[in-house]
């Protein structure tokens, strides 16, 4: 098996998806297409999200906008960092050796996705406090504390994955498009357990606990409001529409984002645990689960555009401003062209 692999290394490029290699090209075609496609979607989508937040002031009224901004910037950096394996697969010369490149790339993507995971947990805590302690919420959740929390998220995420540089093991499979990462850098069961205990498990438990209680409280509020309206309607003889908990709709948007995040990351986490515990690896499975998880960096943009009406208005405002700017530039260019063709503007004066 190893001899066959070594014999193919000189004639074929290193491809995790072996059926993606074509004899007519000297690179892994399918892998390049997948990674470049996701990179373009992630970068363009998150740039739009960041600009829409600047164009829609109502989005910034929620304290969760601090964490949404953090996630958008982290996802944007994920897209930018994905340019590194794209260049490697296209045989573009990298400035440093492959082992260091794949280690740094795997570390950076792991930290950025950890920031997203921790931000989702903080968002759920923020909404939980807003519903359970509405009277003291503004004193408990202040801009200064939010900024401190975001700083601690970045610091904590960095410290969790930093031991990967000290031979603790591989933090994930994001660098496996590089041969050295796939063949010479292995996962360690103890380091995997460390990551699960310090990051995956606490974040998942926090999200489950907070959203379960949020929807339970919202259901109680809706029931109380409907009972009061029914009592008032029986006294006045008028009927009115049943009002729902005002925080429930926004919580649903955040819950969708969180659910999609964990749905896309669950295969990756399961494979990560299985390989670390059994020692058996599969290149196709590692590539598929890794880039399925990374695709989540684009999904947040889609969920916001489909679920949040304020975001939709901000997106229309941004597109309208861009169209107005393009139209004004076109008019100015046409006016300049007309003036340049006027004989009075020539050398006849």
Boundaries of every domain in the chain: 24-227+247-312
Confidence label for 10 from pLDDT (cuts 50, 70 and 90): very low
| Contact residues for 196 (Cβ-Cβ < 8 A; gap 6+) | 269, 273
Please tell me which of 4-18, 233-247, 297-311 the model is most confident about, judged by mean pLDDT.
297-311
User: What percent of the chain shows pLDDT beyond 90?
Assistant: 11
Question: How many other C-beta atoms can be found within 10 angstroms of the C-beta atom of residue 288?
Answer: 18
pLDDT at 11 over 50: no
CB 269 within 8 A of CB 200: yes
Separation of alpha carbons 254 and 262, rounded Å:
13
The CATH topology of domain 24-227+247-312 is Rhopdopsin 7-helix transmembrane proteins (1.20.1070)
Q: Report d(CA 157, CA 66) in Å as an integer.
A: 17
**Which token pair is 191?**
């380091």
Count of Cβ atoms closer than 10 Å to residue 53 Cβ: 19
Least Cα distance to 177 among 14, 8, 7, 6 occurs for 14
pLDDT tens digit string along 201-225? 999 899 889 888 888 888 887 777 7
Alpha-helical runs (H) found in the chain: 2-9, 29-55, 64-81, 83-89, 98-132, 137-140, 143-161, 179-184, 189-195, 201-236, 246-278, 283-294, 296-307, 309-341
Token pair 């363009």 is at which residue? 44
DSSP letters, 122-161, are HHHHHHHHHHH-TTTHHHHS-HHHHHHHHHHHHHHHHHHH
Any bridge partners for residue 28, and if so which? Answer: 21
CA 202 distance to own-chain centroid: 19
What's the full length of the chain, in residues? 349
Band of residue 89 on the pLDDT scale cut at 50, 70, 90: low
Cα gap 288→265, rounded to integer Å: 11
How much is the mean pLDDT over the chain?
A: 76
Per-residue pLDDT, averaged over 247-273, amounts to: 81
| Residue 303 in tokens | 């969920």
Confidence (pLDDT) at 348: 39
Q: Both tokens of residue 253? A: 């948007």
pLDDT tens column, 112-129: 989 988 998 898 898 889
Q: Max Cα separation, the chain?
A: 89
CA distance 109 to 296: 12
The tally of CA atoms less than 13 A away on the side-chain side of residue 340 is: 6
Torsional class of 22: left (φ above 0), alpha (ψ -120 to 50), beta (otherwise): beta
pLDDT per position as a tens digit, 90-108 = 666 666 677 788 888 888 9
pLDDT at 349 over 50: no
Q: Which residue has the higher pLDDT, 339 or 136?
A: 136
Please name which of 62, 104, 61, 70 lies closest in space to residue 85, comparing C-alpha atoms: 104
Q: CA-CA distances (angstroms) from residue 238 to 245, 259, 264?
A: 21, 40, 48
């Amino acid at each position: 098996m190893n001899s066959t692999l070594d014999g193919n290394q000189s004639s074929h490029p290193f491809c995790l998806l072996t059926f993606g290699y074509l004899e007519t090209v000297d690179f892994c075609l399918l892998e390049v297409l997948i990674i470049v496609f996701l990179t373009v979607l992630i970068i363009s989508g998150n740039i739009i999200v960041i600009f829409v937040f600047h164009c829609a002031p109502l989005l910034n009224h929620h304290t969760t906008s601090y964490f949404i901004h953090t996630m958008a910037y982290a996802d944007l950096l994920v897209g930018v960092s994905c340019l590194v394996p794209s260049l490697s697969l296209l045989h573009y010369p990298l400035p440093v050796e492959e082992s260091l490149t794949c280690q740094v790339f795997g570390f950076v993507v792991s930290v950025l996705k950890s920031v997203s995971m921790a931000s989702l947990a903080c968002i759920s805590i923020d909404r939980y406090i807003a519903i359970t302690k509405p009277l003291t919420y503004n004193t408990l959740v202040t801009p200064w504390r939010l900024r401190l929390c975001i700083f601690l998220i970045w610091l904590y995420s960095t410290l969790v994955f930093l031991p990967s540089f000290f031979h603790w093991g591989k933090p994930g499979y994001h660098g496996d498009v590089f041969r050295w990462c796939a063949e010479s850098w292995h996962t360690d069961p103890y380091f995997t357990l460390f990551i699960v205990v310090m990051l995956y498990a606490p974040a998942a438990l926090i999200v489950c606990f907070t959203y379960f209680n949020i929807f339970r409280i919202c259901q109680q509020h809706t029931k109380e409001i409907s009972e009061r309206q029914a009592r008032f309607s029986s006294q006045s003889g008028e009927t009115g529409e049943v009002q729902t908990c005002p925080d429930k709709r926004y919580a649903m948007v955040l819950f969708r984002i969180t659910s999609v995040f964990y749905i896309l990351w669950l295969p990756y986490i399961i494979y990560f645990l299985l390989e670390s515990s059994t020692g058996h690896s599969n290149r196709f499975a590692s590539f598929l689960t890794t880039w399925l998880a990374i695709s989540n960096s684009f999904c947040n943009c889609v969920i916001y555009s489909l679920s949040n009406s304020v975001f939709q208005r901000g997106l229309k405002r941004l597109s309208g401003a861009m169209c107005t700017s393009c139209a004004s530039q076109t008019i100015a260019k046409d006016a300049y062209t007309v003036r340049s063709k006027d004989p009075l503007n020539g050398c006849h004066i």
